[in-house]
Amino acid sequence: MSKPIIRYAGQEIEVTWDGRLCIHIGECVCAEGELFVSGRDPWCQPDLVSREQVRAIIERCPTGALSYTDKTGEPETAPPENRVLVANDGPLYFSGELAIEGAPEDMPGVQRRAALCRCGASKNKPFCDNSHREAGFKDAGAVGSQGTGLQECGGPLKVRVIPNGPLKTEGNLSIYTGAGRLAWEGTQTALCRCGASKNKPFCDGTHREIGFKTD
């Protein structure tokens, strides 16, 4: 069964929730104010807080499941830094000016924020669907390599989804450990998504040995 896309209209701003991307991190319901209240119908009411508050709260969503349409015409701007956070035992959290290969046009949130699978078990590849929990995926989110460094931090970041292989990035990128340490900077890399690399979060070719399939 396909997961829903639900829109919550306000006078100044409309919020969209995409069930295909939500992995229930909880940034929305934990935010101050009355924008999101669990158990309320509807749970999202944009007119109960300011337009600026709506934007700020939606931009905290790390998966892109929440997005907004500002009726003033002001778009969501890209963060000044393209980054990946390697979550402990979890996905790769991307943020920045993202162009994820194959992402549907009706997923505007993932142009700025996305959680991409690195355990190999998601049924919604390349996106995380929390299957790492069922699969018992374990990785501390450490990063050993330092990369080549960067002259600047932002700009377009292309994420190529290689069939039966890694995620290849092209563009300025900073990688942070699960503990939040800036560990790697560079303009090109390949990130493991089979879950078996011995050099996580980077690809080491193990996907070929284990017969990793993305379909």
Q: Where are the domains of the chain?
A: 5-70, 83-209
Compute the mean pLDDT over every residue in the chain, rounded to the nearest whole number: 96
Which residues, in sequence order, are CB contacts of 29 under 8 Å at separation 6+? 36, 37, 38, 43
pLDDT tier at 145 (50, 70, 90 boundaries)? confident
- Considering the segment(s) 5-70 as one domain, its CATH architecture is 2-Layer Sandwich (3.30)
pLDDT at 215: 79
Does domain 83-209 sit in CATH 3.40.5.90? yes
pLDDT at 84: 98
Closest CA to 19 of 134, 119, 109: 109
d(CA 12, CA 197) in angstroms, rounded, equals: 47
Work out the average pLDDT over 133-154.
Answer: 94
pLDDT at 1: 52
